[in-house]
Structure 1
Amino acid sequence: MGFTAPGLLLSYVYVNAKGQWGRVAMDPFSQLILLIAVVSFCTFQWLFHSVSPWASSRISPAFLKLTHKQKIEWNSRTVSTLHALLVGLFCLCILFFDEAVNQDPVWGDPTLVKINVSITTGYLISDLLLIFYYWRAIGDKFFVIHHLAALYAYYYVLGQGMLPYFANFRLLAEFSTPCVNQRWFFEVLGYSKASKPNMANGVLMAMVFFLVRIAVMPVYYSRMCSVYGTEAFYKVTFGGRCAWIFSSICLDIMNIMWMHKIARGCYKVLRSRRRSKPESQENGKTD
């Protein structure tokens, strides 16, 4: 049984079957991954506490008029958008150009995927810390479940280098985040739901969310089924298989729930927009 001791970033502490303590040096790449995760955590904390408030107050003067809770959520969503764009673009590069991962989705060379996942790991831990600390402002049990399920799965990717294709594929979902956050920004800034910017973002949000979280499910699970029962599949530890399958199902159930809410909201706004047009045209004729 092993665990990483606090402060021992360059070594791995373990207890053997006889209860004796020991320490082995971490390989250089593992040290790099750990360093990236730590830097990622610190960077996203810095973006939340310093960069976002400073930049937002200059880009959008309305930021200064927000309540304390709204400012916290604003900064959280700003950081979330930056993370989504960074990781999402990296994810696409791996998906299109990393032949090793695409050819062997279970045990292909996970180097680039590990780097991308370590960035996300740092962000998720940072976001969890903020969620718990500012629970009254941004606390959400579904986000806690989402983050913990993702971290549980990423442990096997980073620790054992397994399932790089599937871990990277899940990160495609990040592309829907900017539109979801922008919807909240429009709302808190007082934009009408029927306004053109809000309407355009709402339709784009529904389309992107469906494409990167729902429409890709058949591709994802068909690839999962294609490796089921193979030699590569049975090399994955039992814990790794549970993390892979359980996390995927858990995340997709939430994605379907969120898609349902987004679709209903988009439909209501579009329907109200259509109803308001004839009324405005009729009023225009009478005037």
Structure 2
Amino acid sequence: MEDSSRLGCCVVAGSFVAFQFCFSAVSPQLSASLCPGYSGLPSTKRSEWDSRCVSTVHAVVVGLFCLYILQYDDAVNANPIWGEPRLVKLNVAITSGYLLYDLLLLLRYWRTLGDALFVCHHLVALYAYGYVLSRGVLPYFANFRLLSELSTPFVNLRWFLDTVGWPRSSRLALANGLAMTVVFFVVRIAVVPSYYAQVLAWYGTPEYDRLGLRVQLAWIVPSLALEVLNAVWMYRITRGFYRTFCRPRPHKAA
């Protein structure tokens, strides 16, 4: 095993352990001290609360790292298929460790946390990221996909507010709902034309042919599958946005 691949495996394992520790020890302690309503939640709700706290931490770390790479990693931007993948592999390894942790969590708490779409999303992402970690290919496209994590904190904040009984008509809830809809659309839907424009630009080039059919399929097929999942989630969020902001509220009788 090459040194870079061995390092990637170590980062994946370390990420898995770190996120599991955050779920089991860090989140319960901080949540109980910072949010009085946490201790009064049922055990199933506390598990989901801790899960979403870990999800938020992962999204912030990986999302900001992703933006840094897109802005400053000239080697990756110059050659999206074979550019120097060192920083991208680090970011992907962190995400892969999180995805493994979250898959086990979903299976452990399937009755309360289980979601077939999330399982499909995690498996598809892990399959594609495996080629990035093992062969160092497609660093730009792998990193570009991680932009979608920037929408996660807003989704989780909505759930936190609902769980502690914060009114959806409050300014904070409304502002977060609007931000969630806009950010989700921008980082998961609006970027699709730009993503596939880059795919078409490199399609058929010698760099593309060097990938081989197996890697090409691992790149394109999961990408299309993720577009379907994102479209389903965008529909759900848009429907919730419409119910909150656009649907007329009935007036109470005098």
Q: Could you tell me the TM-score, scaled by structure 1's length?
A: 0.86
1:219-258 equivalences under 5 Å are 219-258=194-233
* 166, 171, 174: which one aligns with 1:196: 171
Question: How big is the shift at 1:196?
Answer: 1.4
Counterpart-to-counterpart distance in 1, 2:41 and 2:163: 8
Query: Do residues 77 (structure 1) and 52 (structure 2) align?
Result: yes
The residue aligned with 2:114 is: 139
Highest RCO, 1 vs 2 (Cα 8 Å, sep ≥ 6): 2
The residue matched to 1:193 in structure 2 has which SS?
coil
Paired residue type of 1:222? A
RMSD, aligned α-carbons: 1.4
Paired residue type of 1:136? R
Counterpart-to-counterpart distance in 2, 1:124 and 1:135: 15
Counterpart-to-counterpart distance in 2, 1:47 and 1:109: 31
Counterpart-to-counterpart distance in 1, 2:195 and 2:172: 33
Which of the two has higher C-alpha Rg?
Answer: 1
The residue aligned with 1:206 is: 181
The residue matched to 1:54 in structure 2 has which SS?
helix
Query: Do residues 152 (structure 1) and 127 (structure 2) align?
Result: yes
Paired residue type of 1:133? R
Deviates more, 1:219-228 or 1:185-194: 185-194
Paired residue type of 1:253? V
Q: Could you tell me the TM-score, scaled by structure 2's length?
A: 0.97
Q: For structure 2, list consecutive stretches of 5 or more residues without a partner in the other structure.
A: none
Counterpart-to-counterpart distance in 1, 2:239 and 2:116: 22
Counterpart-to-counterpart distance in 1, 2:44 and 2:23: 14
Question: How big is the shift at 1:275?
Answer: 4.2
Counterpart-to-counterpart distance in 2, 1:225 and 1:271: 38
Judging by fraction of residues, say which structure has more strand.
Answer: 1
Query: Do residues 161 (structure 1) and 136 (structure 2) align?
Result: yes
* 20, 43, 54: which one aligns with 1:68: 43
The residue aligned with 1:113 is: 88
Deviations 1:182-223 (A, max 9, x none): 111011111122121111100000000000000000000000
Counterpart-to-counterpart distance in 2, 1:136 and 1:195: 31
Counterpart-to-counterpart distance in 2, 1:251 and 1:219: 15
Counterpart-to-counterpart distance in 2, 1:254 and 1:28: 35
| Identical aligned residues as a percent | 49
The residue matched to 1:63 in structure 2 has which SS?
coil
Query: Do residues 175 (structure 1) and 150 (structure 2) align?
Result: yes
* 44, 50, 68: which one aligns with 2:19: 44
Counterpart-to-counterpart distance in 2, 1:28 and 1:261: 43
Question: How big is the shift at 1:239?
Answer: 1.6
Question: How big is the shift at 1:92?
Answer: 0.4
Change (3 A) 1:94 1:68: same
Q: For structure 1, list consecutive stretches of 5 or more residues without a partner in the other structure.
A: 1-25
Query: Do residues 262 (structure 1) and 237 (structure 2) align?
Result: yes
Counterpart-to-counterpart distance in 2, 1:189 and 1:39: 32
